[in-house]
Chains A and B, each alone.
Chain A
């Protein structure tokens, strides 16, 4: 999320200083984010998604003077997208519009990047790699490193000795690190 935030912000700052190429890149990247956001919210009206993306881009363009470089960019973009979404939903179904309006901004802002954010992706990858480990390595890592239990608790829960838990974590993490570096 922070990477996307920094990239988008840098592009828009360049664009506001008059850089057309940066502006085109900014709009393209923004359209991807905004499209994902609308798709998630508009499962009932999939045909509206692209129209709404274009309306949002147009609003971003016409209101780009309201962006202040010190301001976080993600909430700014998201607030415009949400404004357009509420407009559309109000016309189609007043109750859904209210639900979206009551939606907390921060939650919405992270939803905008959900699924594409680096952190979420990394987490998904980690879980996938964990599944490839044998139980004697996987369980100690899940219990102690992910769920935050003590070595003694993990030993009691699995019926393994404390020493086996510690060894399992150590070897398991080594294997994960080896897998992760192979992927890159």
Chain B
């Protein structure tokens, strides 16, 4: 076919596009994934029994807020990386700065605690389930976000996959916080972050292989 013929063909139909298509698809994928993660949480784990009382503790909100901020930065990054020719931009730097700040406050908490209490402060009683469950809850989100990304046009697939993984991890950690009864910031800084890092790394690895589009 001649190129002019192709152009004439492409330009014939309705060519308009509603603005905000990228954001709409990524938000829909995020909400869908969160819904699945919530259903899994309610079916397999249930929310913590003392949820109403916990709502008065600042740490409960902190465990929700930190993952949600991670998710917000990751969403900003992934919606840029879903477009040809764009980089993650400031969102990645800000997200990294947030983590450093979190670790600094957590280190301060550990340093000022009595020596005997330090190990408990960091490890708590549910470190391993926390990491594993956040990673598991992130899987439906990772899938829905990857499907959405394949309908967009990431030209840096590994970076786009990693950002989508971090978004999945952040949202999954926020869902998991409804179940988790830990009350220390160092626990959050260590195990929640590790739990969110797993889908981010997985997303990066899978991204370069599966985020192809034609």
Interface residues of A, Cβ cutoff 8 Å to B: 15-21, 23-24, 27-28, 31, 50, 53-54, 57-59, 61-69, 71-72, 75-80, 82-83, 105, 109
Residues of B contacting A77 in the complex (Cβ-Cβ under 8 angstroms)? 84-85
Please list 17 pairs of residues, one from A and one from B, whose beta carbons are closer than 8 Å in the complex, sorted by A's number: A19-B16, A20-B11, A20-B15, A27-B7, A31-B3, A57-B3, A58-B6, A63-B152, A65-B22, A66-B83, A66-B84, A67-B83, A68-B22, A69-B19, A71-B85, A77-B85, A78-B85
Task: List chain A residues, Cβ under 8 A from B3.
Answer: 31, 50, 53-54, 57
> Within the assembled complex, what's the spacing in Å between the Cα atoms of A20 and B86?
27
CA distance A101 to B50 in the complex (A): 53
Q: Min CB distance, B61 to chain A, in Å?
A: 33
Interface Cβ pair total, 8 Å cutoff: 93
**Are B7 and A64 neighbours in the complex by a CB distance under 8 Å?**
no
Q: Collect the chain A residues with CB atoms within 8 Å of residue B152's CB.
A: 63, 65-66
Main DSSP-derived SS at the A contact region: helix
Are B86's CB and A71's CB within 8 A? Answer: yes
Name which residue of chain A comes closest to B8, CB basis. A24
- Give the B interface residue count (CB, 8 A): 26
The chain A residue with its CB closest to the CB of B14 is A18
* B155/A15 in contact, CB under 8 A: no
Q: Would you give the shortest CB distance from A89 to chain B, in whole angstroms?
A: 15
A106 CB, nearest partner CB in chain B, Å: 10
Given contacts A24-B7, A68-B83, A71-B86, contact A18 B155 (CB under 8 A): no
Closest 7 CB pairs of A and B: A18-B16, A79-B85, A79-B84, A75-B85, A24-B11, A65-B21, A63-B153
In the complex, what residues of A have CB within 8 A of residue B11's CB?
Answer: 20-21, 23-24, 27
The CA of A53 and the CA of B168, in the complex, are separated in Å by 36
Known: A63-B152, A66-B153. A20 touches B84 (CB 8 A): no
Within the assembled complex, what's the spacing in Å between the Cα atoms of A58 and B9? Answer: 10
B12 at the interface (CB under 8 A from A): yes
Q: CA of A48 to CA of B191 in the docked complex: distance in angstroms?
A: 52
A56 to B51, CA, bound (A): 54
**Binary interface encoding of chain B residues 133-176 relative to chain A, with 1 for a CB under 8 A from any of its CBs, else 0:** 00000000000000000001101000000000000000000000
Whose C-beta in chain A lies nearest to the C-beta of B155? A79
Chain B, range 174-200, C-beta contacts under 8 Å to A: none
Extra 19 A-B pairs, beta carbons < 8 Å, given A59-B153, A63-B153:
A18-B14, A19-B15, A23-B11, A24-B7, A27-B10, A31-B3, A31-B7, A57-B7, A62-B214, A64-B15, A65-B22, A66-B82, A75-B84, A75-B86, A76-B83, A78-B85, A79-B84, A80-B155, A83-B155
Known: A63-B152, A63-B153, A66-B84. A15 touches B7 (CB 8 A): no
Complex Cα spacing A149 to B114, Å:
70
Docked complex Cα distance between A68 and B86 (Å): 11
- Measured CB to CB, the closest approach of chain B to A56, in angstroms, equals 10
Which of A15, A21, A69, A76 is B84 in contact with, Cβ under 8 Å? A76
Say if the beta carbon of B117 comes within 8 Å of chain A.
Answer: no
Residues 1 to 50 of chain B near chain A (Cβ within 8 Å): 1, 3-4, 6-8, 10-12, 14-17, 19, 21-22
